[in-house]
């Protein structure tokens, strides 16, 4: 791999042991993928919490703290596993809560901005066309590549952390123009009026093309999609298909105008969307858990939920969780949305994702939840390891299920 | 024929018992990260242990969270000897390299023609080769 003089200096340990190790690691990863060089990045978004890192990861961060590791570029953190205000109520393990606090402290010592959000692209930083970043959480990566035209691979926790310490990342995959071209076309004839419909598109297209380097090109849609709609589409494509990029003709900056070169064509209409909803087993009919999470809710999603829950009340014995980040929650409180939701009996979790909540499996057992209903196609896909039977429903239907206990 | 050529590879030479899967893998979706057993109901290798095995998986599943998981299982001494993937994604590679677990991607011929679970295999990332040493 070609290295600049600065990179050679880092590798020689002239900037300290922490960046030296980080760069050595990045070179190994880059060699695997055939990267010719490293590219500077402007922004890093990393996943790091005690549930995903475990004791080994925490010990690693302690060592990096001792080595006086510092983030060289702006570095933010993804949603985490502990809600510090509600951890007791949720039955989260106090020892793990303490470790999470220490972990956050380690990251802050290194100058990371602990935003605890998976919607950094909506609330923290919006890179521009061609800007190289190193982001983790697949939903953030696909949004960066597709909607902004920025350039990132899926950067898992260790890889994003290394990029934070060196300010660069190996140049392979979606940093290269050759991988950013569409590989198949998808005509959207369905109306797609709810966020869950957009997730359903992601499920249909992703399941049929499970390949990191597959890039769908959407076309034929008759209105301008909104940010939250593209967010649910991207999160589902990344989750079901392991995809990191899509194009949307007339919407995203790198979308092609001529689709003639794409041999494979797929159509998603009303019938296909309906087949997604009818494909879920209702299990034993348990309707006591409704979740709006994965990704965290934007301010406009909070507003919509407040409208739907206004003067309603979730059914006795049911639980409804909404997750968002601290900034959106503060604004939701100021605007009265949070108050409406809490009055309806909804629990708002801050800075977390429901999927990675510490102690989620015991929580499920204790509450004897069997089903989980959500308007997020992503979370219904990934939470299976916790042995939930999951059901995707439209936002309004999710609210009805939470308030009536009636699952259809 | 007892050789599989791989396209991409990382790590030192290792030997171990093969575990051959027809289904993809995620350390988050499929694995119990305390025992090293594949526990997701319905996985074709449900009940099998990956500990100290050379694991053959056709595809990689799962998101970013998998990146820390390999380091976690290595620390708990329940990691496999190597991962041999047909198709993989950056997260698996970043995770395996971070944990120092050999990993390869791309194969010819398909392992089902050469190796079966229980065979003893040698993984040589430097030569881009996986060799069946003896039948199980």
Give dist(CA B17, CA B32) in Å, integer.
Answer: 20
Of the listed ranges A22-31, A174-183, A382-391, A396-405, the one predicted with least confidence: A382-391
Partners of residue A28 in chain B, C-beta under 8 Å: 10, 97
Window A:279-318, CB contacts with B under 8 Å: none
Q: Tell me whether domains A5-176 and A283-404 share a fold.
A: yes
Class of domain A283-404: alpha beta
Q: Which are the contacts of B128, defined by CB distance < 8 A and separation ≥ 6?
A: B5, B6, B7, B8, B9, B104
Rounded to an integer, the average pLDDT of A12-34 is 98
Convert the pLDDT of each residue in A197-226 to its tens digit: 999 999 999 999 989 999 999 999 999 999
**Whole-number pLDDT of residue A263:** 87
* The pLDDT of residue A178 is above 80: yes
Domain extent, residue B111, equals 3-134
In chain B, the number of structural domains is 1
Name the minimum distance, in Å, from the CA of A211 to any CA of chain B: 8
**Whole-number pLDDT of residue B26:** 86
**Whole-number pLDDT of residue A283:** 94
Domain locations in chain A as residue ranges: 5-176, 181-277, 283-404
**Whole-number pLDDT of residue A384:** 72
Partners of residue B68 in chain A, C-beta under 8 Å: 47-48, 52-54, 57, 156-158
CATH match of A5-176 with 3.90.870.10: no
Which chain A residue lies closest to B66 (C-alpha atoms)?
A156
Residue A225 has what DSSP assignment?
P
Partners of residue B61 in chain A, C-beta under 8 Å: 210, 242
Q: Show the tokens assigned to A112.
A: 């990371």
Which of A56, A242, A382 is facing B75, going by the closest CB pair? A56
ipTM of the complex: 0.96
Convert the pLDDT of each residue in A92-145 to its tens digit: 999 999 999 999 999 999 999 999 999 999 999 999 999 999 999 999 999 999
Q: What is the pLDDT along chain B (136 residues), one digit of tens a residue?
A: 699 999 999 999 999 999 999 998 888 878 888 899 998 778 899 999 999 999 999 998 778 888 899 999 999 999 999 999 999 999 999 999 999 999 999 999 999 999 999 999 999 999 999 999 999 8
Radius of gyration for chain B, computed over Cα atoms and rounded to the nearest angstrom: 13
Q: What is the CATH number of the domain that holds B9?
A: 3.50.30.10
Burial tier of B1 (Cβ tally within 10 Å: 0-12, 13-18, 19+): exposed
Convert the pLDDT of each residue in A70-99 to its tens digit: 999 999 999 999 999 999 999 999 999 999
**B42 at the A interface (CB within 8 A)?**
no
> B90 vs A156: CB contact, 8 Å cut-off?
yes
pTM: 0.96
Name the minimum distance, in Å, from the CA of A89 to any CA of chain B: 25
> A242 vs B89: CB contact, 8 Å cut-off?
yes
**Whole-number pLDDT of residue B27:** 86
Partners of residue B105 in chain A, C-beta under 8 Å: 32
Tell me the percentage of chain A whose pLDDT exceeds 70.
100
Which chain A residue lies closest to B65 (C-alpha atoms)?
A52
């Amino acid at each position: 791999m070609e290295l600049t003089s600065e990179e050679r200096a880092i590798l020689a340990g002239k900037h300290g042991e922490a960046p030296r190790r980080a760069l050595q690691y990045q070179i190994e990863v880059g060699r695997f993928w055939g990267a010719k060089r490293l590219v500077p990045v402007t922004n890093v978004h990393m996943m790091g919490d005690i549930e995903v890192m475990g004791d080994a990861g925490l010990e690693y961060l302690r060592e990096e703290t001792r080595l006086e590791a510092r983030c060289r570029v702006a570095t933010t953190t993804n949603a985490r596993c502990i809600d510090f205000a509600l951890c007791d109520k949720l039955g989260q393990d106090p020892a793990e809560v303490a470790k999470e606090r220490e972990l956050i402290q380690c990251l802050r010592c290194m100058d990371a901005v602990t935003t605890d959000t998976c919607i950094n692209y909506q609330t923290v930083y919006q890179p521009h066309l061609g800007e190289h970043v190193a982001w983790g959480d697949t939903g953030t990566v696909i949004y960066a590549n597709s909607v902004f035209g920025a350039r990132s691979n899926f950067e898992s926790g260790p890889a994003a952390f290394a990029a934070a310490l060196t300010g660069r990342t190996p140049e392979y995959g979606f940093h290269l123009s050759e991988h950013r071209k569409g590989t198949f076309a998808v005509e959207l004839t369905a109306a797609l009026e709810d966020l869950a419909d957009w997730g359903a598109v992601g499920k249909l297209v992703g399941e049929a093309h499970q390949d990191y380097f597959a890039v769908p090109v959407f076309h034929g849609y008759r209105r301008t999609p909104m940010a939250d709609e593209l967010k649910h589409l991207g999160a589902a494509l990344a989750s079901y298909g392991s995809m990191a990029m899509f194009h949307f003709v007339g919407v995203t900056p790198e979308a092609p105008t001529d689709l003639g070169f794409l041999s494979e064509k797929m159509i998603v209409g009303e019938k296909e969307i309906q087949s997604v909803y009818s494909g879920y087993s209702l299990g034993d009919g348990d309707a006591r858990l409704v979740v709006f999470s994965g990704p965290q809710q934007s301010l406009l999603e909070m507003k919509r939920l407040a409208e739907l829950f206004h003067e309603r009340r979730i059914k006795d014995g049911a639980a409804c969780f909404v997750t968002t980040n601290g900034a959106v929650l503060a604004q939701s409180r100021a605007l009265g949305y949070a108050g409406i939701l809490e009055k309806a009996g909804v629990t708002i979790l801050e800075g977390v994702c429901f999927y990675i909540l510490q102690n989620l499996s015991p929580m499920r057992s204790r509450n004897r939840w069997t089903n989980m209903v959500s308007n997020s196609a992503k979370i219904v896909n990934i939470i299976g390891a916790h042995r939930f039977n999951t059901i995707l429903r439209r936002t309004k239907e999710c609210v009805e299920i939470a308030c009536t206990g009636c699952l259809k | 024929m007892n050789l599989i050529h791989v396209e991409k590879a990382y790590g030192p030479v290792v030997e171990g018992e093969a575990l051959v899967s027809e289904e993809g893998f995620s350390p988050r979706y499929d694995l119990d990260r305390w025992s090293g057993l594949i526990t997701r109901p319905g996985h074709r290798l449900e009940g099998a242990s990956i500990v100290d095995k050379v694991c053959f998986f056709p595809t990689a599943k799962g998101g970013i969270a998998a990146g820390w998981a390999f380091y976690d299982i290595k620390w708990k001494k329940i990691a496999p000897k190597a991962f041999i993937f047909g198709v993989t994604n950056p997260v698996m590679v970043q995770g395996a390299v971070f944990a120092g677990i050999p990993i390869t991607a791309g194969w010819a011929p398909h392992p089902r023609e050469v190796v079966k679970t229980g065979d003893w295999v040698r993984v040589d990332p430097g030569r881009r080769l996986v060799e069946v040493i003896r039948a199980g």
